[in-house]
Amino acid sequence: MHANLSLQQAPPFSVPARFLVSAPVFGLLAALVLLWHGPDIISSRWNPPMLAVTHLLTLGFLAMSMLGAMLQLMPVLMGMVIPRPVLFSSIIHTPLVLGSLSLAAAWLLQYRWLFLVAMLLLGFTFAVFVMVAAERLLRSVSRHITRTMMLLALLALLLTAGLGIYLAAGYVGETFAVARQLTDLHLSWGLLGWVFMLVMAVAYQVIPMFQITDDYPKWHQRWLGWLLFVLLLALSLTWFYPLAGLQALLGVLLAACLLVFALNTLWLLHRRRRTLPDTTMKFWQLAMASLIALVFIRGIAMLAGIELPALLTGVLMIAGFAMTAVNGMMYKIIPFLIWLHLSARNKDLRDAGRREQQVKVPHMRKIIPENAGLWQFRIHFAALVLLALATCWPAWFFYPAVLLFALAQGFLLYNLLNAVRFYGAKRTALQAVL
Amino acid sequence: MGIKNLMAQDHRDCDRLFSEAENAASTQDWEKARQAFQQFVQAMDRHLGIEEQVLFPAFEQETGIVTGPTEMMRMEHEQMRALFDEMAAALEREEADDYLGEAETLLILMQQHNMKEEQILYSIMDQRLDADVDNWQQKFQEWNRA
């Protein structure tokens, strides 16, 4: 029964690291495309270069870091190790990088065949990942709600990818019209069913544990994920039976899910037992504030009958909520893993009876200094405010916003690469004596 | 109530002591930090000792798995104890950044360790070992006296 049970600590460092370090590279690429095209790009979300930017962020930054984090977290949270982790992560990482690049290039260069390449690469990546991860999750002995929610999130990822491939097919052929109505379903499943669901599932575990707060209420944990999933299913059915009233109602209920999660998280953090100002916690707070802003702005616009700038919602959801939460998590994951792997090397030395040759393993604040993370947070925060303003007044805010966003992504990349280089140097020192 | 609930509650109690020490160190209240840290290490020593000498042997005997999860947990206990030493040294030097850095490292190590225990190991213990919590509490107290 427990033949597969392993509480092994972690896959090799390169497995999650390659995904997490790739993410801000795609953030920088998105900024470059924005700068190249100038303020006109944000007039519509249907602009091909804007679609390229959106997917550089959702695939290149978000899917990239979230798949990497799942590979790292599943052994810890579920006790399930993925066999041959280095090989598996290459099989996922390489086509994800190439697929994201070819999809963006397809829109930027308007080459039809590149859409086909992207469809094949990304379809392969997500199908293989979902299959392997779902099989592992189904066999886990863990009965925590996180397991169920990760499975729901994977299902949503598969639906998002399927809809995305169907939509991309519209660009490949002459006769195949792009079905724009389906785009809303594609992005609802992607941003709510996959991204938001997974962030919730992870938050249920990491917020109480790392910030030392109370648990999320039982009803919240048990029902919110399922409610979200059922609402998305209902929303999908309205595509076949379009009832405007029902669609509006579902929209309100989905917004309520976002709001409940955001407010509950802020409340827990407000009452946390750690009084230490922690950078990752600031990222969590900003992510939740973005969700709340998103719900309120859309709510007010709906009641007052105002049409919102096309990209404001996207900025708040993708950059404001999702990228912020992931960015904060990176500052815990990367330094801890480096510490963990260096400690394991030292243990090898101790076991070999060569205690005196051990290297002092630096603590996490020596790997990424607290101030480096804090300043990157401040720049990211400022970039978000300016990006939101730029969707309303592009002539004024576009260039400062994009430049600051590029700076925040560059700074994140610098912090992560510094940590990886530090690990490389220490590991070489340890290998030399082994 | 089972082993899982009992031991998970003990995790939460240790967490509270951990944050008291961390809070004091972050405001450089060294006297209070030393006191809270000492209480934290005492509580942890008791928790880790109960696992290593009462619960893990019972699990190993019942399942016959000796080189599996319990071996991994014992190794992580060793890593935690090494970090207690680093934290104590930083307290001695009254170096806030070092203490907070070592403490954060311990926090993450300890919490991912707790997750594995609470979601996997204790769950299996609840299925396979004596379900009566009173019996366990009595065993823990006997261990404590010895």
Are the C-beta atoms of residues A188 and A235 closer than 8 Å to each other? yes
- Number of domains chain B contains: 1
Burial of residue B64, with CB atoms counted within 10 A of its CB: 0-12 exposed, 13-18 middle, 19 or more buried: exposed
Q: What are phi and psi of B33, to 5 degrees?
A: -60, -45
Structure tokens, A241:
């039976």
Closest CB from A76, A336, A364 relative to B116 = A76
Residue in chain A nearest B102 by alpha carbon: A363
**3-class DSSP state of A393:** coil
Residue in chain B nearest A335 by alpha carbon: B105
Closest CB from A141, A210, A332 relative to B120 = A141
- A273 inside 8 A of chain B by CB: yes
Q: What's the sign of the alpha-carbon dihedral A306, A309, A315, A317?
A: positive
Task: State the number of CA atoms in the 13 A half-sphere of A182 facing the CB.
Answer: 15
pLDDT in tens, A48-96: 999 999 999 999 999 999 999 999 888 877 777 788 999 999 999 999 9
End-to-end CA distance of chain A: 38
What's the rounded Cα separation, in Å, for the pair B49 and B55?
9
- Nearest CA distance, A376 vs chain B (angstrom): 19
**Does the residue B19 lie in any domain?**
yes
Nearest to A90, CA basis, from A27, A153, A18? A18
Contact A77 B98 (CB under 8 A): no
- A141 inside 8 A of chain B by CB: yes
Nearest to A62, CA basis, from A22, A31, A103? A22
Residues of B in contact with A281 (CB under 8 A): none
Task: State the number of CA atoms in the 13 A half-sphere of A131 facing the CB.
Answer: 8
Nearest to A231, CA basis, from A209, A204, A212, A251? A251
Neighbours of A112 (CB within 10 A): 11
Residue in chain B nearest A371 by alpha carbon: B97
Q: Model-level pTM? A: 0.93
The CATH number that applies at residue B22 is 1.20.120.520
Are the C-beta atoms of residues B105 and B83 closer than 8 Å to each other? yes
**Does the residue B114 lie in any domain?**
yes
Structure tokens, A299:
């709510």
Are the C-beta atoms of residues A40 and A432 closer than 8 Å to each other? no
What's the rounded Cα separation, in Å, for the pair A238 and A250?
10
Residue in chain A nearest B75 by alpha carbon: A347
**Does the residue B142 lie in any domain?**
no
Contact B22 A8 (CB under 8 A): no
Contact B123 A141 (CB under 8 A): yes
DSSP A241: S
pLDDT of residue A4: 40
Residue in chain A nearest B63 by alpha carbon: A2
Residues of A in contact with B104 (CB under 8 A): 363-365
**3-class DSSP state of A25:** helix
DSSP A305: T
Q: To which residue do tokens 């400062």 refer?
A: A400
A·B CB contacts under 8 A: 95
Q: What's the sign of the alpha-carbon dihedral A270, A275, A278, A280?
A: negative
Structure tokens, A139:
């066999």
**Cα angle A395-A390-A248, degrees, rounded to a multiple of 5:** 130
What's the rounded Cα separation, in Å, for the pair A418 and A376?
14
What's the rounded Cα separation, in Å, for the pair A80 and A138?
10
In a mutagenesis test of the B interface, which of A332, A365, A422 is the best target, namely the one with the most B β-carbons within 10 Å?
A: A365
Are the C-beta atoms of residues A221 and A203 closer than 8 Å to each other? no
- A205 inside 8 A of chain B by CB: yes
Nearest to B77, CA basis, from B127, B121, B35, B33? B121
- A7 inside 8 A of chain B by CB: yes
pLDDT of residue A175: 61
What's the rounded Cα separation, in Å, for the pair A407 and A412?
9
In a mutagenesis test of the B interface, which of A136, A338, A348, A363 is the best target, namely the one with the most B β-carbons within 10 Å?
A: A363
Residues of A in contact with B111 (CB under 8 A): 209-210
Are the C-beta atoms of residues A426 and A432 closer than 8 Å to each other? no
Q: Which residues fall within 8 angstroms of residue B112, CB to CB, at 6 or more apart?
A: A76
What's the rounded Cα separation, in Å, for the pair B22 and A18?
33
Closest CB from A7, A276, A363 relative to B121 = A7
When mean pLDDT is compared across A114-128, B39-53, B65-79, B85-99, the lowest value belongs to: B65-79
Nearest to A375, CA basis, from A338, A412, A403? A412
Find the domain containing B89 and state its range.
3-130
**Does the residue B81 lie in any domain?**
yes
pLDDT in tens, A355-402: 777 778 899 999 999 999 999 999 999 999 999 999 999 999 999 999
Residues of B in contact with A365 (CB under 8 A): 97-98, 100-101, 104
**3-class DSSP state of A310:** coil
- A8 inside 8 A of chain B by CB: yes
Note down pLDDT in tens along chain A; length 434 residues: 343 444 555 788 999 999 999 999 999 999 999 999 999 998 888 899 999 999 999 999 999 999 999 998 888 777 777 889 999 999 999 999 999 999 999 999 999 999 999 999 999 999 999 999 999 999 987 788 999 999 999 999 999 999 999 999 988 876 666 677 789 999 999 999 999 999 999 999 999 988 999 999 999 999 999 999 999 999 999 988 888 899 899 999 999 999 999 999 999 999 999 988 899 999 999 999 999 999 999 999 999 999 999 899 999 999 999 999 999 999 999 999 999 888 888 877 888 888 777 778 899 999 999 999 999 999 999 999 999 999 999 999 999 999 999 999 999 999 999 999 999 988 887 777 65
**Does the residue B16 lie in any domain?**
yes
To the nearest 10 degrees (0 to 180), the angle between helices B133-145 and B30-50 is: 120
**Does the residue B42 lie in any domain?**
yes
Q: To which residue do tokens 């610098």 refer?
A: A414
What is the 3 state secondary structure string of chain B?
CCHHHHHHHHHHHHHHHHHHHHHHHHCCCHHHHHHHHHHHHHHHHHHHHHHHHHHHHHHHHHHCCCCCHHHHHHHHHHHHHHHHHHHHHHHHHCCHHHHHHHHHHHHHHHHHHHHHHHHHHHHHHHHHCCCCHHHHHHHHHHHHHC
Structure tokens, A308:
């919102």
Dihedral angle, C-alpha A189, A163, A69, A87, nearest 10 °: 160
**Does the residue B125 lie in any domain?**
yes
Are the C-beta atoms of residues B51 and B14 closer than 8 Å to each other? no
pLDDT of residue A174: 66
What's the rounded Cα separation, in Å, for the pair A163 and A169?
10
Structure tokens, B74:
């014992």
What's the rounded Cα separation, in Å, for the pair B91 and B87?
6
Contact B123 A7 (CB under 8 A): no
Neighbours of A269 (CB within 10 A): 18
**Does the residue B87 lie in any domain?**
yes
Contact A336 B97 (CB under 8 A): no
Residue in chain A nearest B97 by alpha carbon: A365
